[in-house]
Structure 1
Amino acid sequence: MSALSHLDKSGRVNMVDVGDKAVTQRRACASGLIRTQASTVDLVMDGKAPKGAVITTAEIAGIMAAKKTSDLIPLCHPLPLTKVAVTITPDTALPGFRVSSDAKTTGQTGIEMEALTAVSVALLTLYDMMKAVDKTMVIDAVKLDMKTGGKSDFGGTTD
């Protein structure tokens, strides 16, 4: 196991110096889901949710959250994002909704936290917008699906 990178030799917390790292194209994709009642999926898909355009609002919230990741996660570097996409799809088999994100940057450090933050906030927004009609919701399976462009690529590429 590697040493913890956010601790210096004396154990003090510090932001990792990425100044000597190569500038590369970096990409990360993440996903998660929210389980709901089947009737909640129907309500949202029929456009009858009390709080309005649930999916559009949650997708925008996820994108906005990715842009604020360094404000939310201590010691996370602010990154110049070149792309953030959040996609929410209903899944009647769950029942619920699946959320995915795709984030890109050109920089010296990874973009995994932005992809994960986008998914997490989109899921929280779905929860917030549907909580009045569904008290049984469960957010689950938030994970990093892939990352490329750093020294430890993971999960291949997605289009």
Structure 2
Amino acid sequence: MWRKQEGARTGLTELPKTNATSQQAIAKTSVQMNRDLYESLQRGALHEASVLENARAAGTLAAKKTSSVLPYCHFKPLSAVAISFDWKVGSGVWELLIEAEVKARHAATVDSEALMAATVTALAVFDSCKSISQSIVLGPCYLSRKRT
């Protein structure tokens, strides 16, 4: 049973009555894996392009739907969502680096949308690879840059 805490406010807060400004946020995360999974992806055994493209699509959709998942997040029409991948390999490390950049013209920031995009992208990679390896580690996920 949910109980309202004394003095707690509920509902969306009103945005300031200011003009919309250009908003940008970049979030980063990673998917750490074992050598076997990395090599399977590189060999195409899991169709790496499909894994990454499906993850990119999932992250993009997640950014667009952030306000549907986070109850106090205002809907924002996004002008751009870009998700990029890079590999960090060496010294016993096999890691997929994920960067999600989100842009909008709005009064509220887009940091939650960027974090949602990065996190869901990593989760989609995990979901595609979990049958091959049980030693996948996601994160950390963090806000790398925010510009308002």
CA contact (8 A) 2:41 2:48 kept: no
Structure 2 gap segments, 5+ residues each: 1-5
Task: Tell me the residue number matched to 1:31.
Answer: 28
> Following TM superposition, by how much is the alpha carbon of 1:19 offset from its aligned partner in structure 2, in angstroms?
4.3
Give 2:67's match in structure 1, choosing from 67, 70, 73: 70
- What is the aligned residue count? 141
State, as a whole percentage, how many aligned pairs show the same letter: 24
> Following TM superposition, by how much is the alpha carbon of 1:22 offset from its aligned partner in structure 2, in angstroms?
3.1
CA contact (8 A) 1:31 1:101 kept: yes
CA contact (8 A) 1:104 1:111 kept: yes
> Following TM superposition, by how much is the alpha carbon of 1:21 offset from its aligned partner in structure 2, in angstroms?
3.1
Higher RCO (Cα < 8 Å, 6 or more apart): 2
| Cα RMSD after superposing both structures | 1.8
Give structure 1 regions of 4+ aligned residues with deviation exceeding 6 angstroms: none
Q: Provide the rounded CA distance (Å) in 2 between the counterparts of 1:133 and 1:50.
A: 13
| Bigger proportion of residues as helix | 2
- CA separation of 1:28 and 1:51: change in aligned 2, threshold 3 A: closer
Structure 1 gap segments, 5+ residues each: 1-8, 150-159
Q: Provide the rounded CA distance (Å) in 1 between the counterparts of 2:121 and 2:109.
A: 21
**Which range moved further: 85-94 or 57-66?**
85-94
Q: Provide the rounded CA distance (Å) in 1 between the counterparts of 2:49 and 2:77.
A: 32
TM-score scaled by length of structure 2: 0.89
Q: 3-state SS of the aligned residue for 1:92?
A: strand
AA in 2 matched with 1:24: T
